[in-house]
Structure 1
Amino acid sequence: MRHPFLLLAATALAACGAAPPARQPTSVATQAIVRIDPVRPVAELRPLALAAVPPAESGEFRASDLVELVALDPTLRLDIRYAGTNNFLGTPLYDQARAFLQRPAAEALARVQRSLAREGLGLLVHDGYRPWYVTKMFWDATPPAQHRFVADPATGSRHNRGCAVDLTLVDLGTGRELEMPSAYDEFSERAYPRYTGGSAVARANRDLLRRHMETEGFAVYEFEWWHFDYRDWRSYAIQNVRFEDIPPRP
């Protein structure tokens, strides 16, 4: 996880009689790996997180039905950053490069993908369901001054419930990412959905993604343009199952 929003750049230009800005592939700047200096090495934090117990929750929850995204819609593209070193901690956090969501959220995401395809665009997914122990590693590794960019394991993340997804847009013709105001997982104001800097093209791309996601019941997180929560996230409990232990579902 990572405030009124701007008029879309395309709308503003249209009001002046100009055409919307052309979509552009990602610039070198927004492709840069953004990293932090962890408070403690991840290698030390992993066994502690695996041995920890998620917070107890009260109330009634829906049965978990985590669906693998590419099994539901093979046209979805993945770039699971936490399965490699291209992430803010610079080390693998997941054992497998896979993405899951609770079925209603996964089906809504597939509808977004179909809608975008009519505009020659598609989704590139960086993260979906996240086991709770990984959220604990994020929190324990991140300096307190930057904790607003990561979820508190004491309350859990919407990723832990299988109802949050991190993603961006790609051009279906070239396969390249569209320019956005910040890099993924960038710990700065450029990541905010209401950020007014950067290029008009990047802001228009960001807001286009948001419009499509909101149409299908997702809401953007106030500190991260790439993070979207599905509307039913409160209906699911925190999960701590590893990817390899999630049973395949049709």
Structure 2
Amino acid sequence: MKSLIAGLPVLLASTLAVAEPEKSPMIDLNDQVSGLVCDARYAGAENFTGRPLTGYEKSMCLGTPELALALAKAQEALAPYGLTLVVFDAYRPQSAVDGLIKWAADEKDTLHKADYYPDVQKDRLIPDGYIAAKSGHSRGGTVDLSIADAATGTLLDMATSFDFFGPQSGLSATGLTVQQKANRALLSTVMQAAGFVPYDAEWWHFRLKDEPWPDTYFDIPVR
């Protein structure tokens, strides 16, 4: 794997064409982005609820063709360095978002509190903005992701895990090592160069600057 110490990779030009949407505007990102790793956390039990979310009938990462095109640009920038994007969640059905709101209201269900929100009381997850009734994910133009070594699959150290609720996950977090800061900067730089906008509270969360469905929240199952 090439060294990242010398500087961040330069974004490569992409010649991929945007596929025309059919009945559903969501497509399989793996079909469009070469080498992309889909680790669909909400399709299984490895998430803060400890179970698959409603609407995820298959372990897939879906999104709009425009999202796929932008991710392909970011992936091309990382490939020369032996790195790859790992997507944890992209398109998220509204039914899954509704399920998260219901989960957050159940104060007794704290199965994975120690892993995902050890310093935040569950009744603060909605008021503090960690969970919302409407999500950009349901519009198909938002993605949660990280970077891994393409050969080994080892995720780069970002200081916290995906979906860790707390100030350590924010872009202005303090106490990070030099390498952790560099890894976050790499992800943010590559994604912004590909047309994404970062989210201050979550290092893994990026929204397309020019998303195709800015006012539409879909409830199409992931399958």
- Secondary structure at the residue paired with 1:118? helix
Select between 214-223 and 63-72 the one with higher mean Cα deviation: 63-72
Quote the residue 2:131 is aligned against: 150
The answer for the alignment partner of 1:68 in structure 2 is 28
Which whole-Å CA distance do the structure 2 matches of 1:146 and 1:197 have between them? 23
Of residues 182, 187, 195, the one that matches 1:209 is: 187
Q: Does 1:231 align with 2:209?
A: yes
CA distance in 1, matches of 2:28, 2:174: 35
User: Counterparts in 2 of 1:1-250, with a 5 A limit?
Assistant: 65-93=25-53, 94-142=56-104, 143-147=122-126, 148-152=129-133, 156-233=134-211, 235-236=213-214, 237-244=216-223
Looking at structure 1, the residues matched to 139 and 197 of structure 2 have their Cα atoms a distance apart, in angstroms, of 15
> What's the offset of the Cα at 1:170?
0.4
Q: CA deviation at 1:234?
A: 6.7
TM-score norm. by structure 1 comes to 0.69
* Length-normalised TM-score, structure 2: 0.77
Structure 2 distance, partners of 1:139, 1:201, is 35
Q: 3-state DSSP class of the match of 1:243?
A: coil
Identity of matched residues, %:
33
Q: Give the C-alpha shift of residue 134 in structure 1.
A: 0.5
- How far does residue 179 in structure 1 lie from its aligned partner after superposition? 0.5
Contact 2:140 2:213 in 1 (8 A): no
Larger fraction in helix: 1
Q: CA deviation at 1:223?
A: 1.0
Which residue in the other structure is 1:47 paired with?
A: none
RMSD (Å) for aligned C-alpha atoms: 1.9
Q: Report the count of equivalent residues.
A: 183
Distance 2:29 2:89 in 1: 11
In 2, distance between residues paired with 1:151 and 1:69? 25
SS state at 1:235 partner: coil
In 2, the alpha carbon distance for the partners of 1:180 and 1:106 equals: 24
- CA apart distance, 1:175: 2.0
Give CA-to-partner distance per residue, 1:39-95, whole Å, 9 cap, x none. xxxxxxxxxxxxxxxxxxxxxxxx962121011124100111111111001111122
Asked if 2 retains the 8 angstrom alpha-carbon contact of 1:181 and 1:197, the reply is no
> What is the CA deviation profile of residues 18-44 of structure 1, one whole-angstrom value per residue up to 9, with x for unaligned ones?
x679xxxxxxxxxxxxxxxxxxxxxxx
